[in-house]
Amino acid sequence: MSIAFSKYQGLGNDFILIDNRHSDTPAIEPDEAIMWCDRHFGIGGDGVIFVLPGTADTDYTMRIFNSDGSEPEMCGNGIRCMAKFIAALEGKIDEAVTYKIHTLAGIITPEIFPEGQVRVDMGEPRLLAAEIPTTLATPKDKVVDRSIEVDGKSWTVTCVSMGNPHCMTFVEDANAIPLATIGPKFECHPVFTQKTNTEFVQVIRPDYLRMRVWERGAGITLACGTGACATVVAGVLTGKSDRNCTVELPGGCLYIEWSIEDNRVYMTGPAELVFTGSVAQ
């Protein structure tokens, strides 16, 4: 027996996609996902994404195991890759198509444009401490420009949930941050009761931000879609950025819009097939 897969990447954030439409249960276990994601002994990836049957009025369901075997609520770059994978499964590679996808963060709606870009309605940001969740503020307060001590240093942070937790800190030079050292200490800080993704953000212009990310359960990645969305929300909340903004990540740029009309965040960026294969079980 073997399991077929396709590997996709969105700005270098790479995922192993499995057609799981035949079952509500992921085809592999979290410990197998760890092996598949290993870049030396496996396929290599930041996570494994399963395309499961939809529920209620959705087209499909997204499940994802991170490279450490943990399961996040959803993934912004991953859902763009998932949309392109579904379009390939349906034979709609060159068509404009929209999907409603059920995730643990709610219903997410990616729209594929004919030129290949994917625009995703990421929903409304969640701003209260209880929604993130974090104990940096009282449950019904926003977490904007709060102080936290990490690795013997005081950092000013703003926290946002895009269905998963994010902690943003604005810095003079994002490239100078020792991400491998400081990232895990933010992720596992006790004020984040479900751990956190952490973004270090440099303001180039109000409409252009540079960001590096330490992802919960994956570590250093080249891009993070939910993180880019949360970064723009944090920039607006702190008066540092516009609502329409380009976010530069190590793997490339995403265009983020926090709509004033409907309060929803929209993310536009690429997703591309890398290769296909199968793994013997």
Instruction: Please give the radius of gyration of the chain, using alpha carbons only, rounded to the nearest integer.
Output: 18
Instruction: Count CB-CB contacts under 10 A for residue 54.
Output: 17
DSSP 54: P
| Distances 117 to 48, 165, 209 between C-alpha atoms, Å | 22, 26, 20
Q: Which residues contact 268 (CB under 8 A, 6 or more apart)?
A: 117, 118, 119, 120, 254, 255, 256, 257
DSSP 129: G
Q: Which of 229, 246, 245, 247 is nearest to 125 (CA)?
A: 229
Beta bridge partners of 170: 201
Q: How far apart are CA 75 and CA 46, in angstroms?
A: 11
Q: How far apart are CA 238 and CA 197, in angstroms?
A: 19
Catalytic residues: 75, 224
Exposure string over 13-50, b if 16+ CB within 10 A, otherwise e: bbbbbbbbeeeeebbbeeebbbebbeeeebbebbbbbb
Exposure string over 210-219, b if 16+ CB within 10 A, otherwise e: bbbbbbbbbb
